[in-house]
Structure 1
Amino acid sequence: MNPAPSHPYRAAALLAMLSQALFCFRLSMPTKLMFDEVHYVPAARHLIALSGPVNIEHPLLAKEIIAGGILLLGDNSLGWRFFSTLAGTATVLGVFAILWLMLGRVRPAVFGALFALFNGTVFIQARIAMLDGYMAAFTVLGIAALLWAMRAESSGTAWSRWVLGSVLLGLAVAAKWIAAPFVAYAAIAFVAVRLNDARREGRSIYAALNARPIGGIHRHWPGMAAIPAILVLGTVSIAAYFATFAPAFFYTVQPMTLAKLLPFQMQMYGQQTQVLPHHPYQSAWWTWPMMVRPIWYLYERVDGAQRGVLLVGNPAVLWGGLVAVAGCLYGWWRTRAPALLAAVGLWLGSYVIWAIIPKSLGFFYYYYLPSIFLCVALAVSLDHFARGTRWDTRFLLLVLALFALFYPVLSAMPLWGPNAFHFWTWFPSWV
């Protein structure tokens, strides 16, 4: 990995403004609850009232943030969803930061962020009061912070950034448990990078895992030893996670206590792993990369018109991203470039966990985090194989064209009638 440039801030600011404007445009439409908002908005209302535990299968943080939107902007569609737009913008900027830190160049970072911005999954989750948008935002920002720590020039700076990344990953888990593996991935990555550095520099394993090798300084995470780093990562992320349960201690019915806090996690696990009845939009994890079963979050006459919201990824990003993952893997096998392997690892690590966890039902929106990391793989692959050409621009134009094509059913625009959905349902399973 090359050293990152010093001034990506102008590009980041422009991306933030573009993302926030796009996510906020007509945000309040539809004005009724749609899809899983019917679970999480009522849960947020209960948190505001401190009336007692509801929706206990998930941690509190994302519902607390939704509650904050209601308190700030009212119990209406704008209040439910506004903070989701900030999470979406943070996700886009997180992709930008990850790529900038991985590749050391602003151009591929901008393109990766734009791929995320115009990916239907990111756009929709940034405009709905669900948990996944917050989980993804904290996860992506946490990864960026840990990479930032990796680039630090002093021990103090490395440690402060490492703690920041640990807090963010803990908050990601506090939004939704599926982020938990990334805490373990961070520890594994720290050790793997240090061992690779030691191998290249002819140092021992002991020197690799120690805070400071004899006669030098570590290229990555200077002044940090492996065991303290992993302990801090685990301790800080766990503390951040449990801190988000603070409102539960003030419930008027069944208040939380320190004695109940750990057993309550087992109750949550039981809720997560219970066998659920068949759902018309359920799908198996191995079907998600090909978008076999997208989800209609809304399709009805509402607010004076026929409207729809189809959770579907941008085909160029989701299908092209799979080619990019394969290309990154091939490029790493040929060159051993770390950025190529990292891009593969981000997608694979966020996806294969769904093949392991004991969930009785799966849904396409579970693929949200992997769909974000496909944008990283696309940018890394284009930078590696097509640098100096205009293929990144051409591909972005394709992404923009497909985003525009699907925009009416990404944004709940008025449609021309009850059968309008046929235009966007390219396959029978998309109905």
Structure 2
Amino acid sequence: MFGYWGLWGLVWGISFGLRFWGLGRFEELVFDEVYFAKFAWNYLQNIPFFDGHPPLGKYIIALGIKLTGFYPWGYRWLNALVGSFIPVLAGLVTYELNRRKWLALIAGYLVATDGLLLVESRYALINVHLIALGLLGQWLVLRRSGWGGVCLGASVAVKWNGLAYWLGGVLAAWKLRWRGWTILISLTLVPLLVYILVWLPHLAQNPGMDLFTLHRQILGVHTRLGAGSDVHPYCSTWWSWPLMLRPMSYYYQNQDGWITSVQAMGNPFLWWLVLVAVLASLPQFIRRNCPWVLQFALGNYLMNLLPWALVKRCIFIYHYLPALVFGCIALAWWVETLWQTGERKLAIVALMVPGVGLGFWLPIYLGLPLRLPFWQWRFWFPSWI
């Protein structure tokens, strides 16, 4: 019924539809929209302010507001559009690793089934821009395009943890035998220049502040944030993210026994399968005898996860999302391997289970009203609430 491109259209169409359906449902600012949507508006109104992150993510939100207005749909729609393409970008990266189109499709499908990526795409938050620009930059590097450095620098200009995407891009270029001077210019100097240029409008709007002092203040904010539930009830440890022990609540309302909530929670079935795939891949990765696609996926997964072990401040489960995308690529490799080795029933189950999980938890991703018992059925552990 569907050819290869038809299936890709289905994956992107579902991804697009889920992000835009009822996008303006909540009239009030949700979670960190109280910061990022307002900061974006401040740029449009030339109001000075301080922010603990680089400015590019807010510029993008401001563009959406500029085009449509400052109201819920207006400051969310561009995030939803960018987020809908993250599964496609994951598929493009996967295809460049080994030119196997079905593996690319499986990876894109798995990324499209995640709930936390869906939630982050539906509000004026900035993680989707970090991920989209990072994946785009790495895809361009894999295609041996010098433009990858522009996107990798832009990813860091959304959040500093975009440095993991940059490092992954540099290591990929080294693996692909880029010339040393090309890496120096295209993947070191160009990203640095892009990062600095992104700051110029912010500095012009906030006179009397130089780039060095501003970065020192931002670093101070993050180091003083502290850690533990006494700082924030949804603080979580980096090692707990793959197990999905402590998701977050972005919105909650109880009206006459109807619960409306938005839970920043991954698709449990997908996340647990990704963890299994990562653990199964580690022996090959350590022995350095795994194929390039698995080496790339697992290397980037670890580069996006392990540095958080060094962070002493309060951190949250959404910091796992950049690593998760690469975990989905590793899981896709295992699913395809199962299919090719004759374990087709197991491969089909591994493909179906994340889709079932997305459907089951979809009401608390989209903020659909549920009766209390049906809402409680979706919270399997006390730490999920």
The alignment's TM-score, normalised by the length of structure 2, stands at 0.90
C-alpha distance in 1 between matches for 2:381 and 2:132:
31
The correspondence for 2:193, drawn from 239, 248, 255, is: 239
| Aligned residues of 1:328 and 1:380 also touching (Cα < 8 A) | no
Q: Does 2:249 match 1:266?
A: no
Between the aligned partners of 1:72 and 1:409, the Cα distance in structure 2 is 29
* 1:29–1:23 distance in 2 versus 1, CA, 3 Å: same
Q: CA deviation at 1:226?
A: 1.7
Match in the other structure for 2:294: 340
Q: Select the residue among 251, 255, 265 that pairs with 2:207.
A: 255
**CA-CA distance at 1:17 after TM superposition:** 3.3
Query: Cα 1:415–1:178, aligned 2, differ >3 Å: closer, same or farther?
Result: same
**1:267 corresponds to which letter in structure 2?**
Q
Is 2:109 aligned against 1:114?
Answer: yes
Q: CA deviation at 1:13?
A: 5.0
1:91 aligns with 2:86: yes
Cα distance in 1, alignment partners of residues 353 and 82 from structure 2: 25
Deviations 1:3-61 (A, max 9, x none): xxxxx87665554333222211111122221111111111111111111123x210111
Q: Counterpart of 2:39?
A: 43
- Report the alpha carbon displacement of residue 290 of structure 1 after superposing the two structures with TM: 0.7
**SS in structure 1 of the partner of residue 157 of structure 2:** helix
> Aligned residue for 1:17?
13
Counterpart in 1 of 2:356? 401
Contact 2:241 2:320 in 1 (8 A): yes
Kindly provide the amino acid, as one letter, of the partner of residue 94 in structure 1: L
2:268 is aligned to 315
Where do 5+ consecutive residues of structure 1 fail to align? 1-7, 150-160, 194-219
| 1:387-426 mapped onto 2 (5 Å cutoff) | 387=340, 389=344, 391-417=346-372, 421-426=375-380
Amino acid at match of 2:180: A
- Any idea what the Cα deviations from partners look like across 1:111-130, whole Å, max 9, x if unmatched? 11111111111111111111
Could you tell me how far apart the structure 2 residues matched to 1:368 and 1:178 are?
11
Question: In structure 2, what is the Cα distance between the partners aligned to 1:27 and 1:136?
Answer: 21
Deviation at 1:402, TM superposition (A): 1.0
With over 3 angstroms needed to count, the CA separation of the structure-2 counterparts of 1:63 and 1:256, relative to structure 1, is farther
Q: Quote how far apart the aligned CAs of 1:250 are.
A: 3.6
SS class of match (1:80)? helix
**C-alpha distance in structure 2 between counterparts of 1:391 and 1:102, whole Å:** 24
Structure 1 Cα separation of the partners of residues 376 and 328 of structure 2: 28
Is the aligned partner of 1:31 residue 2:18?
no
Give the Cα separation in 1 of the matches to 2:207 and 2:347. Answer: 54
1:276-425 equivalent positions in 2, closer than 5 A: 276=226, 278-301=231-254, 306-332=259-285, 333=287, 335-357=289-311, 359-387=312-340, 389=344, 391-417=346-372, 421-425=375-379
Q: Distance in 2 between matches of 1:174 and 1:11?
A: 34
User: Number of aligned pairs?
Assistant: 376
Match of 2:154 among 136, 161, 171: 171
Amino acid at match of 2:267: N
What is the CA distance between 1:314 and its match in structure 2?
A: 1.1
User: CA 1:76–1:430 in structure 2 vs 1: closer, same or farther (change >3 Å)?
Assistant: same
Equivalent residues of 1:121, 1:371 under 8 A apart: no
For residue 187 of structure 1, report the CA deviation from its aligned partner. Answer: 2.4
Q: Residues 106 and 423 from structure 1, CA distance in 2 versus in 1: closer, same or farther, beyond 3 angstroms?
A: same
Q: Tell me by how many angstroms 1:397 deviates.
A: 1.6
Aligned-partner Cα distance in 2 for 1:335–1:362: 34
Shift of residue 343, structure 1, vs aligned partner: 1.8
Offset, 1:229:
1.6
RMSD of Structure 2 on Structure 1 (CA): 2.3
The structure that has the greater radius of gyration is 1
TM-score (norm 1): 0.81
Instruction: Tell whether the 8 Å contact from 1:142 to 1:169 is kept in structure 2 after alignment.
Output: yes
Q: Distance in 2 between matches of 1:376 and 1:146?
A: 17
In structure 1, the residue corresponding to 2:84 is in which secondary structure? helix
Amino acid at match of 2:225: V
Cα distance, 1:301 vs structure 2: 4.5
Equivalence map 1:175-214=2 (5 Å):
175-191=158-174, 193=175
Identify the residue that residue 153 of structure 1 maps to in structure 2: none
How far 1:295 sits from its partner (Å)? 0.5
1:255 and 1:305 map into 2 onto residues whose CA distance is 49
Deviations 1:75-106 (A, max 9, x none): 11111211111221231111101111113111
Matched, 1:141 2:141: no
Q: d(CA) in 1 for partners of 2:315 and 2:279?
A: 25
Judge conservation of contact 2:243–2:275 (CA < 8 Å) in 1.
no
Q: AA paired with 1:326?
A: L
Superposed CA deviations along residues 244-283 of structure 1, whole A, max 9, x for unmatched, are 22322442xx4267xx123322222112221346111111
Q: What CA distance in whole angstroms lies between the structure 1 residues aligned with 2:133 and 2:95?
A: 18
Taking the aligned partners of 1:413 and 1:99, their CA distance within structure 2 comes to 34
CA offsets 1:384-414 (integer angstroms, 9 cap, x no match): 3432635443322211111111011000112
Q: Is the 8 A contact 1:87 1:133 kept in 2?
A: yes
